[in-house]
Amino acid sequence: MKIFIDGANVEDVRYYQKLGFVDGVTTNPSIIAKTGQPIEAVIAALCGVTDGPVSAEVISTEAKGMIAEGQKLARLASNVVIKVPLTAEGLQACYALRQDNIDVNVTLCFSAAQALLAAKAGATFVSPFVGRLDDISQDGLALISEICLIFEQYPALNTEVLVASIRSPQQVVAAAKMGAHIATLPAKVLAQMLQHPLTEKGIEQFLSDWKNVSSDL
């Protein structure tokens, strides 16, 4: 499973890359707004620290505007992926951008039917949102299972399932068991994945037992 960082912090990306974890980055308008910087500067900086796909989301709601924004953002770096919403206009923009060989991430996917249409429109990635479905008492992971099952029936489909809106390590593990291609997670969840209290306790115990051993190490 590939792991993307869902965020705009260059230092997080740099740090987790050193551990070999980061295969790409996703952002959205809320994430970019929090940085207080222009989207072009944020995306260029992220592309400067990773060769993996970096998703930059359009804010137009009509296909024409999305295509123009997408073409502009795609010129920032060769690894920029254009994120469009899962609407008729978004899918029209997806189809047009893909004709231009620009990678597209279709976001805000909340049903298997929507995911299938994103794949038909040639999406490079489709992003179903787990946490936001759970927030309204619907089963976010059940959606991932359904989409993975459908995509498995059609090996010629090139669209990758990018599990988004992840809130816990358990969700990542469950999505991996289902065969989802990618999980995008906030740096906080990535840090939580790494930790286990028995690992810390084990190190303490080993160091304490080692105290009276004479060694050249």
Of 3, 5, 6, 13, the one binding ligand E4P by CB under 6 A: 6
Helix (H) or strand (E) holding 107: strand 104-109
- Residue span binding ligand E4P (CB under 6 A) among the ranges 86-94, 125-133, 139-147, 192-200: 125-133
- The CB-of-25 to ligand E4P minimum distance in angstroms stands at 10
In 3-state terms, what secondary structure has residue 58? coil
Binders of ligand E4P among residues 176 to 195 (CB under 6 A) are 184
Closer by beta carbon to ligand E4P, 34 or else 75? 34
Q: How many CA atoms lie within 13 A of 97 on its CB side?
A: 34
Helix (H) or strand (E) holding 95: helix 88-99
Q: How many CA atoms lie within 13 A of 53 on its CB side?
A: 21
Which residue in the list 72, 83, 201, 211 is annotated as catalytic?
83
Regarding 169 and contact with ligand E4P (CB under 6 A), the answer is no
Regarding 171 and contact with ligand E4P (CB under 6 A), the answer is no
* Helix%, strand%, coil% for the chain, nearest 5: 50, 20, 30
Of 129, 141, 148, 178, the one binding ligand E4P by CB under 6 A: 129
